Structure 1
Amino acid sequence: MTMTATAEPRRFRPSLWATLTTVPAVLVMLALGTWQVQRLHWKDELIHRVEQRLHAAPAPLPATIADPADFEFRPVTLSGRFLNDKEMRLIARPHQGQVGYEVLTPLERADGAGVVLVNRGFVPMDKRDPATRPDSRVEGPVTLTGMVRLPQPAGWLQPDNRPGADAWMRIDPPVMAASVGLPNVAPVVVEALPDPSRGSAPLNGIQPQVELPNNHLQYAITWYSLAATLIVVYVLSQRRRIGTPS
């Protein structure tokens, strides 16, 4: 005679402890996933807006910049003369395997609207002294095309600026201008775009590069997946045999 085993009937009978632990955790995960979806829409709109600005035709930088954020990433033209004796160095990321600096030179505007800090590009460590790169000194009236960038606050682990130090850690137009005795400085920085007429001369501008990582969709999927997994674990773990106390 063959005996056939029958599965013991079970039903969902969650314990109070499991419920009080699981429900808040699931709600938090769902909230985080929804927040990432909102961030995704915000980042998509930001990227679209930046792309529009990057591809706009260059326009003269206004004499007065009431809202600096409205000009970030915009191509602009600027005329004046470089104050080469007030050049400043900014600690830069390695460039093509070399460590060095980005050079900021104040430009006295031809329209009398004060001074604008111009980021003219990268120099390796052995070219930090202007005497080693005389071709980088541009004398007389100049007109350049560049992209407007806003100063950024210090990062969590980034050392702050120390006026009087050999190089600056981050761009801070008012403090930097004051350190070399320049009043009336614009609240933005203009990154000079490469000038084909200068060939490979030192400090020949910066290729425009905007890094706007957009990983919010992956983050949202991760949080929603964790919430779904926790719900499945909760349901399966709280199914008990009929007659078993909870």
Structure 2
Amino acid sequence: MPFSFRFRLLPFIATLVVVAIGLSLGQWQVRRAHEKEAIERRISERDAAPPARLDDKALQQADVDALEFRKVVLKGEFEAGWTIYLDNRPHEGKAGFYVMTPLKIAGSGRHIMVARGWVERNLADRSRLPDIATPAGTVELTGIVRQHAGRLLQLGEAAAIRPGAIVQNLDVADMAKASGLAFAPFIVEQTSDAGDGLVRAWPRPSQGVDKHWGYAFQWFALAGTALIFFVVTGFKRGSQ
């Protein structure tokens, strides 16, 4: 029996839409996977380099792209009054904050925003701030340079930046404007212990590569399935 294919416009258009969506989202997931693989290579390369000391001279010549993911050493004094709390940062299934405090670099008028660590929040009173000891006087700490502390979807109007504010996201430029302090255009995730009880288990920015490859496969499979279904049903209709 000869095969014949019966073409129908609406199923064809629907198939094109599904295939286009599947291919587009699959390609986006592939790009995200490649981006994270590139980040992992940069992290591995820079992790092998010795820590860089960020003093006033180094800050004046700082190149953010060249510094990102580098281990650094900072010396200065914390501006405890300008501690900010980044909301919706869970750790091991618990709700909490990232504690962010400016550090005034010794011998400099510049500050670096230091992500000091994670602390669990009070679920019974979500406006209550945790009691955290901030080291007084000159301190020396080590950490990793990041361009930002990670950005989350902002729902509703962002809270004003002020001492002790609980915010969803924090931009260094906005922090400088609100506080009147001069900031380096990046943050440092502290890795050295300070005896303050904060958790310093920072999520690796390159994590989730396998997830992106998995999602890419699913979207490409959806596109392929839609195309096969259109062809098969077209031949079935043609043979009736």
1:216 aligned to 2:216? no
CA 1:216–1:145: 2 relative to 1, 3 Å: same
Letter in 1 for 2:153: G
Residue of structure 1 equivalent to 2:185? 187
For residues 121 and 197 of structure 2, what CA distance do their matches in structure 1 show? 13
Assess if the C-alpha contact under 8 Å between 2:101 and 2:116 holds in 1.
yes
Give unmatched runs, 5+ long, in structure 1: 1-8
CA shift at 1:123, angstroms? 4.0
Show the counterpart of 1:230: 226
Tell me the residue number matched to 2:9. 17
One-letter amino acid of the counterpart of residue 168, structure 1? I
Percent identity, aligned pairs only?
30
Partner of residue 60, structure 1: 53
Residue type at the aligned position of 1:210: R
Deviations 1:195-228 (A, max 9, x none): 2xx5xx2155623431432223223322332233
For 1:31-50, what aligned pairs fall within 5 Å after superposition? 31-50=24-43
TM-score (normalised: structure 1): 0.72
SS in 1 for 2:59: coil
**Aligned in 2, Cα 1:119/1:223: closer, same or farther, shift over 3 Å?**
closer
* Change in CA separation of 1:139 and 1:36 when aligned onto 2, cut-off 3 Å: closer
How many residues align? The count is 225
Q: Structure 1 residues 154, 34: CA separation in 2 closer, same or farther (over 3 Å shift)? A: closer
Deviation at 1:94, TM superposition (A): 4.3
User: 5+ residue gaps in structure 2?
Assistant: 123-127
Distance 1:147 1:91, change over 3 A: same
2:133 matches 1:141: no
2:125 corresponds to: none
SS of the aligned residue for 2:144 comes to strand
CA displacement at 1:66 relative to structure 2: 5.2
**Cα distance in 2, alignment partners of residues 148 and 78 from structure 1:** 11
Flag the structure with larger Rg. Answer: 1
Mapped pair 1:107 → 2:103: yes
- Displacement of 1:97: 6.7
Secondary structure class of the residue paired with 2:33: helix
Partner of 1:88: 84
d(CA) in 1 for partners of 2:24, 2:98: 42
Alpha-carbon distance in 2 for matches of 1:74, 1:95? 24
Superposed displacement of residue 11, structure 1: 0.9
What amino acid is the match of 1:15? Answer: F
